[in-house]
Amino acid sequence: MAIDCWTVLSSLLVGALLAAWQWWRQYSTRFARLGLPYEPPVPLLGNLLGAAFSRRSQHDIVVDLYNKFQPHAYGGLYGFAESMIMIRDPEIIRTITVKDFDHFTDHANFIESEKANPIQQRMLLVLKGKEWHDMRTTLSPAFTSMKMKNMFVLMTEIGQQMVDYLWKETAVYKVPSNKDDVLTLEMKDFFTRITNDVIATSAFGVKVDSLSDPENLFYSMGRELSTIRMMTAICYKLFPKLMLFLGIPFFSEKAMEYFRSVVSETIETREKQGIVRPDMLHLLMQARRGELTSEEGEKDGAATSNARRLTEHDVAAQAIIFFFAGFDTVSTVLTFCSYLLAEHEEVQRRLQQEVDDVMKKSGGQPSYEQVMGCQYLDMVISETLRMYTPLSAVDRQCVRPYRLPATDTCPAVELQPGDVIWIPVRAIHFDPKYYSQPERFDPERFNSERKHLIKPMTYLPFGYGPRICIGQRFALMEVKVLLLYFLSRFSFQMVSKTPVPLEIKPDSIFLAIKGGSWLGVRRRS
């Protein structure tokens, strides 16, 4: 009997090994069979071995693969246990993201949404197909120019709050005697606190000051929500069902519940007391009632007839994903921009001249139109986003059979539903074919004379097509407001603690500076 049992177990083990071997052969030779260039994968980790063991950032790996596939229009890569096709040709990227968008409406699966937290299921980023389309249609009017203008005043209040705090902190450094005799700050932590306060007031209707009150609950919960360990992300990519079975959440359940309760309690209070405030939560409440419409003349809005009414989970989900995106992404852009300005003093001085002109004309209280009309500020931010876009790549998942066209360097490829493509944003931004001396910080690339010379589909910091980042207007307005207020009174400068040269941190899911983003902050004379 024991012999029979061992025989059965041995047979099962051999069968499992044979099945695994057969799967591996099919998986690892997929691109060879398609006739595409590819990088041989490592079992389970694919081409992301360096990222998994914190040796190289995913941003650098994407650039390396992109360069290895030159001059091919596309190549094959392996992201952990998933095979994907990297699209290198801008015209094919345009076709996929715009012309043939109906074949690529979804993002790749990351978490099995139907088994995830019910709020997580309803996030716009996770939704697919018609559900995504209906939600996007409902939310689009919340991000029109007029709605952004209404929230502008909330951002300027945080900008002034930031300046007031720094003015007190730098009082002792009125006359710096050397380059380190200034207020030294870790800029990512600094800007994360400010963007937290912007999101708190403009999305949740909560007033906090995370600089003066560094341990406030809203900021603490925000940090917990946005802290995603590399190993957790890898395990969700490799074993999503197991992670859900074990009850290991991707986002902190405690933080999710906190923000859900803030949304629920705020809505209840506003409805009972008739409170109206020009923030995102008010717009989501309007959408919940089916009352959110675009302003007359706005082309990016949506008609109420095409929208859906939001549930309480829908409202909480969009507020939370709005927080998650704004909390880290905007602070990342501000962090890298501050480093670049400190490194290039001539750019910082020229930008401050523009800022001074705006502040003088406005009496220290610039309008929405004045801030958004700052051309050099826009050029500096655009160049920062080119060099340090927060996402190294964006993905699309095929939802209908599709044929990638044959090119001079690649055969035609038949894609099936479920196949994933990667658009290597950072690598395209650093391709010398599109940007001369791409490693050089040069805001003049985006001046009025040269901006139109940038090849279409080679500048993609927010993605492109119908699934372009819905909050890009809000994010750009926030960056501009905060930089303008800061530079009107202070300057960034390099100190001995500043890491030189700038390198990408390899052990972080999000874009960050290796060694910390330490800079000096000094009052302007």
Q: Which residue ranges make up the annotated binding site for heme?
A: 469
| Residue type at position 97 | T
Q: List the beta strands (DSSP E) in 405-486.
A: 413-415, 420-423
Angle at 64 between CA 63 and CA 67, to 5 degrees: 85
Residue 13, classified by CB atoms within 10 Å of its CB into exposed (0-12), middle (13-18) or buried (19+), is exposed
Q: What is the C-alpha to C-alpha distance for residues 67 and 474, in angstroms, rounded to an integer? A: 33
Q: List the beta strands (DSSP E) in 135-287.
A: 183-186
Residue 437, classified by CB atoms within 10 Å of its CB into exposed (0-12), middle (13-18) or buried (19+), is exposed
Q: Which residues are annotated as a binding site?
A: 469
Range 156-187 burial, b when 16+ CB lie within 10 A, else e: bbbbebbeebbeeebeebeeeeeeeebbbbeb
Other CB atoms within 10 A of residue 374 CB: 20
- Cα distances (angstroms) measured from residue 105 to each of 70, 96, 365, 392: 27, 10, 42, 20
Q: What is the C-alpha to C-alpha distance for residues 160 and 354, in angstroms, rounded to an integer? A: 18
